[in-house]
């Protein structure tokens, strides 16, 4: 059960975890020294989004070498940015709300973090 104190203590690191991969690393290291379940939830979400970003970018670069599809990369990356923004909003509001479509999956595969 999350208390208001747990959420307030973890909110800053939860938000930082969504701001670049360096922010994710900072939040992860900080959360290892003093674990906070709220921060851990958002670290798992952020880690999943960044991992998805890397995988999709790799796939798009292979696809673009085979076939030219204008704006595909822009649309996909804009969607990933929207996921990051939704994560930041949830963290700032103190909610443990998974990002749409893939958030629950990220919680399952990164449950040990």
Quote the domain boundaries for residue 37: 4-109
Q: What pLDDT shows up at residue 71?
A: 87
Q: Residues 51-106: pLDDT tens digits?
A: 999 999 999 989 888 888 888 888 999 999 999 999 999 999 999 999 999 999 99
Taking the C-alpha atoms of residue 70 and residue 101, their distance in angstroms, rounded to an integer, is: 25
Where does residue 113 rank: exposed (0-12), middle (13-18), buried (19+ CB within 10 A)? Answer: middle
Q: What pLDDT shows up at residue 2?
A: 63
Taking the C-alpha atoms of residue 56 and residue 67, their distance in angstroms, rounded to an integer, is: 16
Looking at the structure of the chain, the number of domains it has is 1
Instruction: Say whether pTM exceeds 0.75.
Output: yes
Q: Residues 20-44: pLDDT tens digits?
A: 999 999 999 999 988 999 999 999 9
Residue with tokens 């673009």: 64
């Amino acid at each position: 059960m999350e208390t208001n104190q747990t959420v307030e203590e973890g909110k800053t690191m939860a938000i930082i975890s969504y701001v670049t991969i360096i922010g994710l690393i900072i939040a992860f290291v900080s959360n290892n020294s003093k674990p906070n379940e709220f921060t851990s939830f958002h670290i798992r979400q952020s880690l999943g989004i960044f991992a998805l970003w890397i995988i999709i970018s790799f796939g798009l670069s292979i696809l673009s070498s085979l076939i030219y599809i204008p704006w595909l990369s822009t649309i996909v990356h804009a969607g990933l940015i929207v996921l990051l923004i939704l994560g930041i909003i949830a963290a700032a509001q103190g909610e443990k709300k998974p990002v749409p479509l893939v958030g629950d999956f990220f919680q399952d595969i990164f449950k040990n973090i």
